[in-house]
Amino acid sequence: MTTRATRTRLPPSGRVGLVLLGTFVVLGVLGPYLAPYDASHGVLADRFAAASGAHWLGTDSAGIDVLSQLLWGAREALVISSCVVAISAVVGVGIGTVAGWFGGWVDEVLMRFVDILMAFPGILMNIAIVATVARPGAGVVIAALCANGWVGYARVARGEVLALRERDFVAAAVALGASNRRVMLRYLVPNVLGPTFVQMAFGLGAVIMVEASLSFLGLGPQLPYTWGAMIAQGTSLIWRLGFRHYVLVPGLAITWVVIGANLLGDGLRDRYDPRRRGR
């Protein structure tokens, strides 16, 4: 009982990460319902309003309520990051497991492909893909981020499977006549999940960061309320006293999520790999 409890409990920093990420998820889900105003259209007469009871964080150059943008932005960030992480993890674990289990030319071909994708700096490939579309929407951004997002998962899954192949329980399953499909789904994938969860946690932070960077460059979803677009707008206002929170508020939101993801990732890693504990 005690061993199980200590094994499944996250270290305190990991729990802090869980709380930070949890807040993000809750706000991402509820944000659009909580937002007091429309996040796409503002009242021009109210532009550049300072923070007040009506507009807690003021309004922007188009008179849009900044708090509403922040909340809608959370929804956008949540949708994109969870889609990218989920798709990348499924594709990556699938490809990595197949490569590691079958080995030989299958492994060789898949891993050379992985090498070529990794020969690109990550964001450059995302930019190149998004650039093929005149007005990218969330779907294009998700596709662009998944295009090389799965690679890391595949590498880790393959490494784990190579080690699992040598284990007795896998040999026993093969000896009992389990099909390749059964071995992979019943015996390999469940054992790859631990390290995959660790990667998903870190991956969530990384995706939020890259998505914000794309939006900041004007290459993200063409919406006025992505966090990256908010920072881009804030950039032009940084010179004006009283408008600095345009950069700081979305910047803080991104940092919040990324710190949460990194703390949770560290915590999960410590949990799944006791050797690393205390490092």
Site residues (vs another protein, CB under 8 A): 112, 115-116, 119-124, 127-128, 131-134, 205, 209, 212-213, 216-219, 228, 231, 234-235, 238-239, 244, 247-248, 251, 254-255, 258-259, 262-263, 279
Task: Answer for the pair 268, 197: CB distance below 8 angstroms, yes or no.
Answer: yes
Nearer to another protein among residue 94 and residue 251 (C-beta): 251
Task: Answer for the pair 257, 80: CB distance below 8 angstroms, yes or no.
Answer: no
Select from 208, 254, 210 the least CA-distant residue to 231.
Answer: 254
User: Residue 270 CB, nearest distance to another protein (Å)?
Assistant: 13
User: Residue 263 CB, nearest distance to another protein (Å)?
Assistant: 7
Nearer to another protein among residue 192 and residue 247 (C-beta): 247
Q: Which residues pair with 164 in a beta bridge?
A: none
Q: DSSP of 163-210, one letter per residue?
A: HHTTSHHHHHHHHTT--HHHIIIIIIHHHHHHHHHHHHHHHHHHHHHH
Select from 22, 11, 13, 20 the least CA-distant residue to 272.
Answer: 11
Nearer to another protein among residue 82 and residue 213 (C-beta): 213
User: Residue 109 CB, nearest distance to another protein (Å)?
Assistant: 13
Residue type, 171: A
User: Residue 89 CB, nearest distance to another protein (Å)?
Assistant: 21
Q: Mark residue 177 as left, alpha or beta (left: phi above 0; alpha: psi -120 to 50; beta: remaining).
A: left
Q: Which residues pair with 65 in a beta bridge?
A: 59
Nearer to another protein among residue 90 and residue 217 (C-beta): 217
Nearer to another protein among residue 4 and residue 112 (C-beta): 112
User: Residue 246 CB, nearest distance to another protein (Å)?
Assistant: 10
